[in-house]
C-alpha cells in the first residue's frame, strides 16, 4: 500500500511514497480506528501531521512519535481522522425530528466548528423518523451511538484532489445468501478461505427491559420504558437521562419519545455479544476490497462448533511486515438491528 505523509496544511511532507518496514492499519466500523507505521529516521520530518493513502478511505493523524536510535527507526501512530469529532461537544442542546442519519448530519454541520477541511457529504436520508435531543455529548459519541441502531456508520474521507475531508454516512452491503442485490460472500473452512478462527459469545451483561428516568424527582419524574422481553422473563436496567423537558416548546409525548430513543441507543451495551475473528486467506474465494469491505454483512459457517449465521464485518486489521500482508476480520453486531416498538409509560 502506498503511503504519503502530509503536513498541517495537508500538503505532502517528505518522500511522496514513504518507505515503511511495518504498518498496521486497524479499520473499525462502529468505532474510530487507528494505525502505526515504522519508517527510517532519515525520512521523518517534524512537520508530518497526517498519514494518507489513496487506497483506503481513512486518514491517519500522527499523534505519537517514537524514535528508536539503535534501529535508526521512527514509529508514527495515532487515530484516524474520525477522532476529531471527539474534540467537539453538542452545546447548547440540539433537538430535531427526522431520521437518525439526518440528525447526525445536521448536528455535525452545526457543531463541527473549526475542524480542518470537514464538510458533510450527501447521504441516504431514509429510516425511521424520531424525536431526538442531545446535549453535552461529543460529536463522536453521538454519531456512533445514533447510527449503530440502524447498522450504519460514518467515516471522514480525505479527498486529496479537492482538498476536503468528507463526513460520510454509509451502510455496508448485504452479501448474505438471503438477498439477491449483491453477490454472495461466505467464509468457512469448507471454502478454505479462513484460518486461525476465534469465536466467542458473552451474555453476562444482557438486559431486556429498560426504564429511563428523565426530568423531575420522585413520583413526578418523567420516565419511558423500552421493553424487549416479549412478555417473558425481564432482566431490568435503569438508565439516567440528562435530556431536558420544556413544556412550552415540546409536548410530554415528544419528550418521552426522546427518552425512548436514548434507551434504544444505550440498550446496545446490554446485548448478547457474538463475535468471530479469523484471518482471511488471500487468493482463495472472495477478494478483500473487491468482493467485500468493512461494514459488509456476510455468511459465516463454522462446522466444527455448529455455528452458522449472518454477521457484519465490524473490524479489519491489516498488517504489512516481512513482505507479508495479513488481513484479520472481526464479525459481530453489538447493537441489535431489529427491535420491538417499546411501550411508553
- 109 occurs within a structural domain: yes
**Shared domain check, 89 and 72:** no
**Shared domain check, 257 and 230:** yes
Instruction: Give the pLDDT band (50/70/90) at residue 332.
Output: confident
Please determine, for residue 68, whether its predicted confidence score (pLDDT) is greater than 60: yes
**Shared domain check, 197 and 287:** yes
80 secondary structure, DSSP code: B
Give CA angle at 202 (198, 204), nearest 5°.
160
Render pLDDT for 174-229 as a digit per residue (tens, 0 to 9). 999 999 999 999 999 888 899 999 888 888 999 999 999 999 999 999 999 999 99
Residue 101 is part of which domain span? 84-170
- 339 occurs within a structural domain: no
Instruction: Give the pLDDT band (50/70/90) at residue 303.
Output: confident
Please determine, for residue 33, whether its predicted confidence score (pLDDT) is greater than 70: yes
- 177 occurs within a structural domain: no
The whole-model pTM stands at 0.90
Query: Which CATH number covers residue 137?
Result: 3.55.50
- 340 occurs within a structural domain: no
Please determine, for residue 334, whether its predicted confidence score (pLDDT) is greater than 80: no
Please determine, for residue 345, whether its predicted confidence score (pLDDT) is greater than 70: no
The predicted model gives 155-164 an average pLDDT of 98
Q: In this structure, what C-alpha cell is assigned to residue 257?
A: 419519545
Q: In this structure, what C-alpha cell is assigned to residue 97?
A: 425530528
Q: Which of 58-72, 273-287, 293-307 has the largest mean confidence?
A: 58-72
- 284 occurs within a structural domain: yes
**Shared domain check, 314 and 194:** yes
**Shared domain check, 164 and 99:** yes
Q: How many CB atoms lie within 10 A of CB 130?
A: 19
**Shared domain check, 10 and 122:** no
* CA–CA distance, 312 with 218 (Å, rounded to integer): 42
- 115 occurs within a structural domain: yes
Q: In this structure, what C-alpha cell is assigned to residue 156?
A: 471522514
**Shared domain check, 254 and 126:** no
To the nearest whole percent, how much of the chain has pLDDT over 90? 85
**Shared domain check, 75 and 158:** no
Q: What total of structural domains would you count in the chain?
A: 4
Q: Residue length, the chain?
A: 345
Mode of pairing for the β-strands spanning 118-120 and 164-170: parallel
* Res 251: pLDDT: 95
Determine whether 11 is exposed, middle or buried from the number of CB atoms within 10 Å of its CB (0-12, 13-18, 19+). Answer: exposed
**Shared domain check, 135 and 39:** no
Instruction: Give the pLDDT band (50/70/90) at residue 333.
Output: low
DSSP letters for 240-254: E------TTTS-HHH
Amino acid at each position: 500500500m502506498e503511503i504519503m505523509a502530509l503536513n498541517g496544511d495537508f500538503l505532502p511532507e517528505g518522500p511522496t511514497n514513504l518507505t515503511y518496514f511495518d504498518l498496521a492499519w486497524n479499520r473499525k466500523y462502529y468505532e474510530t480506528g487507528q494505525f502505526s507505521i515504522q519508517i527510517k529516521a532519515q525520512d521523518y520530518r517534524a512537520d508530518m501531521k497526517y498519514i494518507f493513502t489513496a487506497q483506503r478511505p481513512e486518514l491517519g493523524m500522527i499523534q505519537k512519535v517514537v524514535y528508536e536510535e539503535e534501529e535508526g527507526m521512527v514509529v508514527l501512530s495515532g487515530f484516524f481522522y474520525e477522532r476529531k469529532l471527539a474534540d467537539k461537544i453538542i452545546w447548547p442542546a440540539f433537538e430535531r425530528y427526522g431520521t437518525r442519519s439526518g440528525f447526525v448530519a445536521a448536528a455535525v454541520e452545526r457543531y463541527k466548528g473549526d475542524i480542518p477541511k470537514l464538510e458533510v457529504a450527501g447521504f441516504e436520508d431514509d429510516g425511521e423518523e424520531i424525536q431526538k435531543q442531545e446535549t453535552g455529548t461529543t460529536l463522536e459519541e453521538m454519531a456512533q451511538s445514533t447510527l449503530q441502531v440502524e447498522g450504519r456508520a460514518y467515516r471522514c474521507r480525505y479527498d486529496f484532489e479537492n482538498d476536503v475531508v468528507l463526513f460520510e454516512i454509509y451502510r455496508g452491503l448485504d452479501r448474505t445468501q438471503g438477498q439477491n442485490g449483491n453477490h454472495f460472500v461466505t467464509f468457512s473452512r469448507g471454502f478454505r478461505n479462513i484460518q486461525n478462527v476465534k469465536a466467542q459469545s458473552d451474555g453476562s451483561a444482557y438486559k431486556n427491559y429498560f426504564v429511563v428516568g428523565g426530568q423531575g424527582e420522585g413520583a413526578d419524574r418523567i420516565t419511558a420504558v423500552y421493553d424487549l422481553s416479549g412478555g417473558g422473563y425481564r432482566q431490568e436496567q435503569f438508565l439516567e437521562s440528562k435530556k431536558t423537558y420544556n413544556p412550552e416548546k415540546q409536548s410530554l409525548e415528544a419528550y418521552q419519545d426522546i427518552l425512548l430513543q436514548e434507551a434504544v441507543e444505550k440498550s446496545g451495551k446490554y446485548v448478547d455479544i457474538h463475535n468471530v475473528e479469523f484471518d482471511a486467506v488471500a487468493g482463495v474465494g472472495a477478494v478483500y476490497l473487491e468482493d467485500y469491505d468493512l461494514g459488509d454483512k456476510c455468511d459465516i459457517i463454522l462446522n466444527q462448533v455448529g455455528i452458522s449465521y449472518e454477521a457484519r464485518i465490524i473490524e479489519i486489521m491489516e498488517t504489512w511486515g516481512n513482505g507479508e500482508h495479513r488481513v484479520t476480520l472481526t464479525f459481530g453486531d453489538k447493537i441489535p438491528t431489529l427491535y420491538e416498538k417499546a411501550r411508553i409509560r
